[in-house]
Structure 1
Amino acid sequence: MSIATPDPTSILIVDDAPENLAVLSELLLPDYQVKAATNGPRALEIIASGPVPDLILLDVMMPGMDGYQVFARLKENLRTRDIPVIFVTAMDATRDEEHGLEMGAVDYITKPLRAPIVLARVHTQLELARARRQLQDQNTFLEAEIARRMGENQLIQDVSIHALARLAETRDPETGNHLRRTQEYVRTLAEQLLEHPRFREHLNPRMITNLAKSAPLHDIGKVGIPDYILLKPGKLEPAEWEIMKTHARLGAEAIAQAERDAAREVEFLALAKEIARHHHERWDGSGYPDRLAGDDIPVSARLMALADVFDALISRRVYKEPMEFTEARDIIVAGRASHFDPDVVDAFLEVFACFQSIARQYSDAEETDPIVPEGRAA
């Protein structure tokens, strides 16, 4: 098995005087791969046609295109802008040296050339360039590693959220893909309302992401509802209904406890708590548990309220058959300004086709015909 050897370090010398090229080539060839050009355009051709050199020794005073112009062209090109350049010139004015360094050259060597000075500075700049590349590679690796670990943490967080939501769902097995559907309904409504004057200060892409993430926890409080009530196939008695309604408070309290246990603030939990507690509030103030009305109901809960009701209407339950999409739509519209925020209902009508698509995409697999298409009897 052959072992690959690293490519030799390459240096490009650019000088219009052949004798200077000869001196520098003789000096550098024992240790480096050397290419030479007698003018600026030829130097740019060499660089463009092959691998970029590791270092360039660039004469300043050349006819036609001087060294400063060549250097400017190198800096304009993404492929060549990071090549270290040492200016070589007979000029010894401090201002000329400052100009070259201000442009971005790594060093400045004056003629007549002295071998120990040239070799020392070439070696130093090559070592610095190598160190910069290693640091860049290290930074790239660290950035990729951070992104990977953040992705893992995000995945763990998302899985944990759904695990908690599924815990509540296991108590009510008929809900099927209700969590996924309502999550996507909420996301769709929020995106539709993103630029709406009433919602602009409440909604932004980050908030929508957290909103969608927290939506599956809206019924987490059902874990605290007794089976004889939660699983009852018929209509609940008034006393039973009062117990059922406590799931909103229980869910919010559970999430609030999770917030207190967290080492730092977790953005999506604040939204999850709002949704869990207030997604059964009604626009006219007749909902529960706090009988909030109008804009006192958090935006997150207003979106969840519509999403939750729509999905309940189109889904099969022990006590009812699923409604057609249009019938469910009409019920939502009838609740405009009484059950639901009027602008949220208007947004729902704008994205009604999306709601239907989400419902079909995440229909409950265990049902033969879980979502009744339009034009068929429920």
Structure 2
Amino acid sequence: MFLQTDGQAPLSTVLVVDDTRENLTVIGQLLRPQYQVRVANSGQRALQVAQTEPIPDIILLDVMMPEMDGYAVLASLRAHPQTRDIPVIFVTALDAVADEERGLQAGAVDYVAKPIKPAVLLARVRTHLELKAARDWLADQNSYLDAEVQRRMAENELIKDFSLHAMATLAEKRDNETGNHLHRTQAYIEALMEHLKDHPRFHALLGAPHQRHQIAKAAPLHDIGKVGIPDAILLKPGRLTPEEFEVMKTHARIGADAIEEAIRSVLDMSRGKQQLPSPDLMKPALQFLETARQIAAGHHEKWDGSGYPSGLQGDAIPMSARLMAIADVFDALISRRHYKLAFTLDDAVDIIRKGRGQHFDPDICDAFLILVPQFAAIAERFSDHPSVAH
């Protein structure tokens, strides 16, 4: 559009293309009282003008021109992103029905025969400019709505992440740990998944970015069940008695049961036809909760079946829980607790190496051993104290 300087509404820009000077003059004079008019006397020139400011809002295009006819011009206009949506009206002496059909099939919005009738041409131009304005408005509205949906989704995702982290941190705070434990274990798992994503055993579950993202997001909830452990045991300054340790072990089942209850509640509401998002939107949420449940329930299971709470063995332990097992143990070893000093990095690595095939999935353990420098860097970045023990 051509912006007027007197504060009035901007004039639409019309490009008139014709190889005959007289036609350009006549049509130009007809349009100028109402529109900003640009002219081109050849197909090549028309393509150049159409891509320079002010970009035309509509094009009146002659068909019969030397070198490059109107059909070729229209095809070129439609092929270029900047001009593909400009409405084109053929203005031509070809007035046979077949010619009109060909023009419309080529992508023209209308067809006006020469000699032109001024009232007809003005009416057609006005109509198609109004249609274009309506289409542009709808496109703007759709773009705005799309942007707003994306903004709201990002906002909801951020709120969800903060809420989940707050819940997980609550459990850690009760255990006198810091939120950095959550950051470290999450980062360890992300490093393991990135390393293992192309491994034949793990590709089906880790090959897609959204699968790895879901596990990483669920990881901080691994100890959520600690909120159900009595303070006398959870906050005991010394080592636990065997009886107390049996109570402590129940945190895995408590956390899993709490998340499972959340899953049942969502499914019950769905069956009750309460106002919930569509199944396609609910599915990722349910998958996330199930991943969180598996991690909470299984991160203390051991590869040889000697873990708790269910004594699962080998691949019967969910893969996400096997990842968390090695991340959680490594972080516990290198971290200072009220009942122990931190192990050195070398000692922690040696303990995990000895647990290969017993406590830990052998392939995940091998990945860890390769990634020890990366794990150490993560521990340093999210350290509770000045540096990791070496």
Common fold by TM > 0.5: yes
Q: 1:132 to 1:296 in 2, by over 3 A?
A: same
Give percent identity, aligned residues only. Answer: 57
How far residue 74 of structure 1 moved from its aligned partner, in angstroms, is 1.6
Q: 1:6 to 1:362 in 2, by over 3 A?
A: farther
Which residue is 2:63 aligned to?
60
Is the Cα–Cα contact under 8 Å of residues 13 and 54 in structure 2 kept in the other structure? no
Is the Cα–Cα contact under 8 Å of residues 181 and 358 in structure 1 kept in the other structure? yes
How far residue 103 of structure 1 moved from its aligned partner, in angstroms, is 2.3
Q: 1:49 to 1:224 in 2, by over 3 A?
A: closer
How far residue 5 of structure 1 moved from its aligned partner, in angstroms, is 4.6
Tell me the distance in 2 between the aligned counterparts of 1:176 and 1:155. Answer: 17
* DSSP 3-state at the match of 2:51: helix
Tell me the distance in 2 between the aligned counterparts of 1:252 and 1:61. Answer: 76
Which residue is 1:324 aligned to?
344
* DSSP 3-state at the match of 2:322: helix
Q: Does 1:362 align with 2:379?
A: no
Is the Cα–Cα contact under 8 Å of residues 285 and 291 in structure 1 kept in the other structure? yes
Which residue is 1:289 aligned to?
309
How far residue 370 of structure 1 moved from its aligned partner, in angstroms, is 4.9
Tell me the distance in 2 between the aligned counterparts of 1:352 and 1:371. Answer: 13
Residue type of the alignment partner of 1:307: A
* DSSP 3-state at the match of 1:11: strand
Residue type of the alignment partner of 1:62: M
Which residue is 2:21 aligned to?
18
Which residue is 1:194 aligned to?
197
Is the Cα–Cα contact under 8 Å of residues 86 and 107 in structure 1 kept in the other structure? yes
Q: Which moved more, 1:255-264 or 1:149-158?
A: 255-264
Is the Cα–Cα contact under 8 Å of residues 316 and 370 in structure 1 kept in the other structure? no
Q: Does 1:50 align with 2:70?
A: no
Tell me the distance in 2 between the aligned counterparts of 1:246 and 1:50. Answer: 71
Is the Cα–Cα contact under 8 Å of residues 64 and 92 in structure 2 kept in the other structure? yes
Tell me the distance in 2 between the aligned counterparts of 1:98 and 1:323. Answer: 83
Q: Structure 2: state its 5+ residue gaps.
A: 270-281
Q: Does 1:345 align with 2:345?
A: no
Is the Cα–Cα contact under 8 Å of residues 376 and 388 in structure 2 kept in the other structure? no
* DSSP 3-state at the match of 1:228: helix
How far residue 61 of structure 1 moved from its aligned partner, in angstroms, is 0.3
* DSSP 3-state at the match of 2:303: coil
* DSSP 3-state at the match of 2:156: helix
Q: 1:4 to 1:30 in 2, by over 3 A?
A: closer
Which residue is 2:243 aligned to?
239
Q: 1:21 to 1:342 in 2, by over 3 A?
A: same
1:115-152 CA deviation, whole Å, 9 max, x = no partner? 12111111111011111110110011001100111011
Q: Of 204, 222, 226, which residue of structure 2 is paired with 1:222? A: 226
Q: Does 1:95 align with 2:98?
A: yes
* DSSP 3-state at the match of 1:36: strand
* DSSP 3-state at the match of 1:13: strand
* DSSP 3-state at the match of 2:177: helix
**Where in structure 2 are the equivalents of 1:1-378 lying within 5 Å?**
5-203=8-206, 204-262=208-266, 263=269, 264-265=282-283, 266=285, 267-364=287-384, 367=385, 369-372=386-389, 374=390
CA RMSD of aligned residues (A): 1.6
Tell me the distance in 1 between the aligned counterparts of 2:23 and 2:234. Answer: 92
How far residue 3 of structure 1 moved from its aligned partner, in angstroms, is 8.7
Tell me the distance in 1 between the aligned counterparts of 2:220 and 2:9. Answer: 55
Q: 1:5 to 1:348 in 2, by over 3 A?
A: farther
* DSSP 3-state at the match of 1:201: helix
Tell me the distance in 1 between the aligned counterparts of 2:100 and 2:348. Answer: 78
1:23-66 CA deviation, whole Å, 9 max, x = no partner? 21121111111111111122223233432111100000001111
Is the Cα–Cα contact under 8 Å of residues 315 and 370 in structure 1 kept in the other structure? no
How far residue 112 of structure 1 moved from its aligned partner, in angstroms, is 1.8
Tell me the distance in 2 between the aligned counterparts of 1:97 and 1:195. Answer: 58
Q: 1:47 to 1:156 in 2, by over 3 A?
A: same
Residue type of the alignment partner of 2:173: T
How far residue 15 of structure 1 moved from its aligned partner, in angstroms, is 0.6
* DSSP 3-state at the match of 2:205: coil
How far residue 89 of structure 1 moved from its aligned partner, in angstroms, is 1.2
Is the Cα–Cα contact under 8 Å of residues 334 and 348 in structure 2 kept in the other structure? yes
Q: 1:122 to 1:299 in 2, by over 3 A?
A: same
Residue type of the alignment partner of 2:294: E
* DSSP 3-state at the match of 1:173: coil
Tell me the distance in 2 between the aligned counterparts of 1:171 and 1:199. Answer: 34
* DSSP 3-state at the match of 2:227: helix
Q: 1:234 to 1:310 in 2, by over 3 A?
A: same
1:58-106 CA deviation, whole Å, 9 max, x = no partner? 0000011111121222222211111111111111233322222222211
Q: Which moved more, 1:296-305 or 1:263-272?
A: 263-272
Residue type of the alignment partner of 2:145: L
Q: 1:95 to 1:325 in 2, by over 3 A?
A: farther
How far residue 6 of structure 1 moved from its aligned partner, in angstroms, is 4.1
Tell me the distance in 2 between the aligned counterparts of 1:362 and 1:14. Answer: 67
Tell me the distance in 2 between the aligned counterparts of 1:105 and 1:353. Answer: 64
Tell me the distance in 2 between the aligned counterparts of 1:80 and 1:114. Answer: 27
Tell me the distance in 1 between the aligned counterparts of 2:173 and 2:352. Answer: 28
How far residue 174 of structure 1 moved from its aligned partner, in angstroms, is 3.0
Residue type of the alignment partner of 2:221: L
How far residue 184 of structure 1 moved from its aligned partner, in angstroms, is 1.0
Is the Cα–Cα contact under 8 Å of residues 322 and 370 in structure 1 kept in the other structure? no
